[in-house]
Structure 1
Amino acid sequence: MSLVQGVYGVRGNLELLACDARDGLWVFWFNADLDTDPLETPDVPPGSWSAGLAFAAGHRYVDAQILQSALGPNHLEVLALTEDGVLQSWFWSPGPGFQRRVTDAATAVARFHATHDEGALFVTVERVDGARSHLVSCTSDYPSRGWFEAVDGPGFPEDAAGAVIDAGIASDTVQPGTARSASSTRDGGTTELTWRDASGAIRHLGVPTL
């Protein structure tokens, strides 16, 4: 599960990506605008989540990450890890929607984390044998991407279960390993917490940044 603040809306909507338990991926968006802002999406008023959009059918995924791209305009990047260790590369653009690239980022992957900088993607992968490597994908062939070995890359984020519990959520309602934390500019600065509860449902809580 992954959340990022995007560029859509007056104040930057939130984009949430989640793996289906059996097949494919889901994306949702949160309207971060205020009631006083122009209403662009009557079906998703300010302060509410959209219905989910399913895509990437045909694979079972164990992790996925969504990133706001500087390219496009306003494209989104998705990296999605299948249960057999293939790290797929996707992007979203207005009109066509989500499209999988021909070239995958890596294989034999156990876990990964990515960052974005001016259109380039930097990825750290941990292989199934425990070895770590770093990859970079530049913008020269965008929207296609090639992947090259790099000398450094992002670290792996810590599990956010502690932050979720500190925010008042009972620990036995947070599925282990599912809690994530992201920052947004909502309300002057907000820590966006997401997790799966005991039933598997996705939960979200915004905590003001002190």
Structure 2
Amino acid sequence: MHSENVIVVGAGRPTSGPVSLTQGRYGARGNLELLACDSRDGLWVFWFNADEAEDPLQSPDVPAGCWSAGLAFASGRHFVDAQIVQSTLGPDHLEVVALTDAGTLESWYWSPGPGFQRRVRDVAASVRRFRLTHDGGVLHVSLELTGGSSASLVSGTDGYPDRMWRASSQPPVFDDGSAERALQGQGITDVASGTARAAQSTRNGGTTELAWRDRSGRVRHLAVPDSGI
């Protein structure tokens, strides 16, 4: 059991809904990026300083082994889900796809200097749920629409940082519950249904990064060596 190593992320921040996690390319060892919806307006991103004591000091604001206090962005709308991935484009831009309570699936990206920017073209409308994956700079989105049908979209690298979306022949794939099962395997059962997600990182020779919301609403993070899953 690894419950004693669980970290609370963004304590005091008003977040809600599922969370999303990826290993970024920043810092000496690849910091973690965690995305959550604000409970009323916009989005929050938190980052984990994955550097160790012997690494060059990269961020005096967040000590090694700690999560940041969080950065708010995308104000003006209420989001119900948002997912983040690390792109190879930019270089090293972060990609965000976020679903509003009106069913609009927005496309955002982060780059040094400007920070998070919303693209002019949204991904889709009338969306009930989605799943974002990536392969290098190519993004894939599985959609379930409000009418009950499902679809897959893909966005390639042409014209980047703008993105065009087209129908994909890949079958839609949604959350398979593997993150929640991994948490159960670590003896952790205080998990709000549908909020757990996992990401792989290269930290410590290979780590499964688990993020979820407990039943009281707090965002949690647990790093499990791949040998312990």
Question: RMSD in angstroms over aligned alpha carbons?
Answer: 1.2
CA deviations over 1:120-141 (Å, ceiling 9, x no partner): 2111111112211111111211
Mapped pair 1:128 → 2:150: no
1:1-210 alignment, distance < 5 Å: 1-152=19-170, 155-159=173-177, 160-169=179-188, 171=189, 173-210=190-227
Instruction: Give the AA of the match of 1:162.
Output: R
SS in structure 2 at match of 1:187 = helix
Alpha-carbon shift at residue 33 of structure 1 (Å): 1.3
CA deviations over 1:63-89 (Å, ceiling 9, x no partner): 111011111112110000011111000
SS in structure 1 at match of 2:183 = helix
Give every structure 1 segment of 4 or more consecutive aligned residues whose post-TM-superposition deviation is greater than 6 Å.
none
Identity of matched residues, %: 62
Greater RCO structure (CA 8 Å; 6+ sep): 2
Mapped to 1, the partners of 2:181 and 2:39 lie a distance apart of 24
Aligned length: 208
Structure 1 stretch displaced more, 112-121 or 81-90: 112-121
SS in structure 2 at match of 1:98 = strand
Is contact 1:16–1:27 with CA below 8 Å preserved after alignment?
yes
TM-score by length of 1: 0.95
Gapped runs of 5+ residues in structure 2? 1-18
